[in-house]
Structure 1
């Protein structure tokens, strides 16, 4: 088996704190990487603990998955714009370029007089902060957007930077010399400049069936009904620190079949930059014990291994959010066997996407609902009303079994 110690870019940000109008849906574009690039997902997660299609109101552009484990969007910077593939991250709020393709300055690039440094769970970037024109989609152009030019960085293989759509308070303490200043996010400026009327981001991911699957979208300024079914269940941002600094929510309980995994209301975050679903170690132990023969491959992958004899008997994993159950069925809990080679894990072995957080519960952030959860649901991040919404989709349940 190949080692799983190499870094997989699935950034869970640990940077400290220091219906719609003019909605625009932009494309998520894929970068082709395989093998060692995809190794180390659980460890990285824990450390980080084109053409238009017109719909009813939003402008929807096709989206693609980044080799099963990450989503990026093509963002133009400058005038004329240079386009960068940036990770869509709800777990951080600074936007920067330069970790792959270098920042190209044009007549619209104006230094702010500030240096910028952001440290993530795994990796960092530091450089110079600029004001520049940012093009998110045709006709959706933000002027004087604060954006970082990454001159030094680590652990951003395969991408050009991050577009941060987390709460603006996460930007505090990242600039120098104005260490107390906040950096307006793209959502702040889109609202200020009249491009959107609501600070709402809607995200649609879907399980990829190939490494080049066109299967995602992000909507600025509202929600897109084309991507969900039924009603959206909203839940307020948790008041529990540290989850309250992010898109943090409370799960009132979680069950695996008849087994209680999370027995009481607890706080965690919803993070598009984390690949897996992570739960506090004591919660994970209950999940592990409920699956006969399952074990955690600590030394190599950090993933749960599920024996073939136990797969047919696997049960739904249900998170209860504001009184409604959001289910990860058997397929949602498993990495499809035909993806193992691209992940860089042992072929023929069944791995799962739910793993341990790296600490017991009670520390203010007891779970992370990452990409593998979000692929099953439409997720709404609503700054105006301090809430997160979830809705079922046509791909919430799957017929997949290995």
Structure 2
């Protein structure tokens, strides 16, 4: 399941799909659950920013996720999914963690997973500890002190649009001075990259030798061996830094790479996607609503080589001794 703070539907691949759309996926079978019941007349249909989508009918069922139980959760069973979802056999559905205003159920909206379980949690929060090039974690109902350092800085969230919308007060490139600029942005685990205004991108990529805004690539590219500066966003009274190495998102050609920060021109908002989220420990508190940000803990991985030599791999990330 894809945990998505940019949508509000809990939907799954189901046995109601044609085999051409469900091959390779684990399927939800409502008839095999003694807790399921069809929500008569309720349907759903969602379209995502990348053009993918899904639709279907709705059941009420018991859902257990990471030890957290929703005794009567609205489960949106897909009867149709787009080709992008069909081909992604690592993903059997989405857990929408945005606010309920984005829920697509009709004629009546249905509660999100978090709405269903929040009263049973020790604290009405969830936290993300995602990592760069490694598996991360989500915690429901508590804040894990082993996964961050220092204090958590909280900032208000506007949920009027249904998204986790915050305002950064400015940015700094590398060790440069902070540029004051109001950057209203959504924080979205369902978006991979950071999308920001062109003035910020020009300021950033002007410090990357050989970079260019390529129409063929559809965004900023640069030599793969280029040194990338950090980018920091001022949120509340603190600056939160994305290491420059995170901005090297993926190869584009043999010797050029595609940037992990691109233009938000044409978007209804700026987006702090996974490239940013992986650089922070984040507390999501929907009942306030607010978000908290803290520097992630470091973790140390001790590897025992075949010749008996101990190798210590110290990386930015989360967790304890591995």
TM-score band w.r.t. shorter chain:
0.7 to 0.9
Partner of 2:248: 334
Whether 1:126 and 2:77 are equivalent positions in the alignment is: no
Whether 1:152 and 2:80 are equivalent positions in the alignment is: yes
CA contact (8 A) 1:261 1:286 kept: no
CA contact (8 A) 1:329 1:398 kept: no
Ranges in structure 2 where 5+ consecutive residues have no aligned partner: 14-21, 300-313, 317-322
CA distance in 1 between counterparts of 2:199 and 2:225 reads 25
- Distance change >3 Å, CA 145–CA 253, structure 1 → 2: same
Q: For residues 304-315 of structure 1, what are the structure 2 equivalents within 5 Å?
A: 304-307=220-223, 310-311=226-227, 314-315=228-229
Q: What's the Cα RMSD here?
A: 2.5
Deviation at 1:111, TM superposition (A): 0.6
Whether 1:202 and 2:127 are equivalent positions in the alignment is: yes
Give the alignment partner of residue 277 of structure 2, picking from 374, 378, 384.
374
Q: For residues 1-150 of structure 1, what are the structure 2 equivalents within 5 Å?
A: 86-98=1-13, 100-105=25-30, 106-113=33-40, 114-121=42-49, 122-138=51-67, 140-150=68-78
- Distance change >3 Å, CA 97–CA 375, structure 1 → 2: same
User: Any idea what the Cα deviations from partners look like across 1:49-79, whole Å, max 9, x if unmatched?
Assistant: xxxxxxxxxxxxxxxxxxxxxxxxxxxxxxx
Q: For residues 335-350 of structure 1, what are the structure 2 equivalents within 5 Å?
A: 335=249, 340=251, 345-350=252-257
Paired residue secondary structure (2:256): coil
CA distance in 2 between counterparts of 1:291 and 1:166 reads 35
Q: For residues 162-181 of structure 1, what are the structure 2 equivalents within 5 Å?
A: 162-171=94-103, 174-176=104-106, 178=107, 181=108
Deviation at 1:231, TM superposition (A): 0.7
CA contact (8 A) 1:280 1:359 kept: no
CA contact (8 A) 2:146 2:297 kept: no
CA distance in 2 between counterparts of 1:356 and 1:153 reads 29
Paired residue secondary structure (2:9): coil
CA contact (8 A) 1:206 1:395 kept: no
CA distance in 1 between counterparts of 2:132 and 2:175 reads 26
- Distance change >3 Å, CA 236–CA 398, structure 1 → 2: same
CA contact (8 A) 2:158 2:289 kept: no
Give the alignment partner of residue 266 of structure 2, picking from 343, 359, 382.
359
CA distance in 2 between counterparts of 1:332 and 1:123 reads 26
CA contact (8 A) 2:224 2:248 kept: no
CA contact (8 A) 2:156 2:166 kept: yes
Deviation at 1:259, TM superposition (A): 6.2
CA distance in 2 between counterparts of 1:378 and 1:289 reads 29
Paired residue secondary structure (1:222): coil
Partner of 2:156: 236
Partner of 1:216: 136
Higher strand share: 2
- Distance change >3 Å, CA 264–CA 116, structure 1 → 2: same
Partner of 2:287: 384
Ranges in structure 1 where 5+ consecutive residues have no aligned partner: 1-85
CA contact (8 A) 1:261 1:283 kept: no
Deviation at 1:304, TM superposition (A): 2.4
Deviation at 1:141, TM superposition (A): 2.0
CA distance in 1 between counterparts of 2:105 and 2:109 reads 8
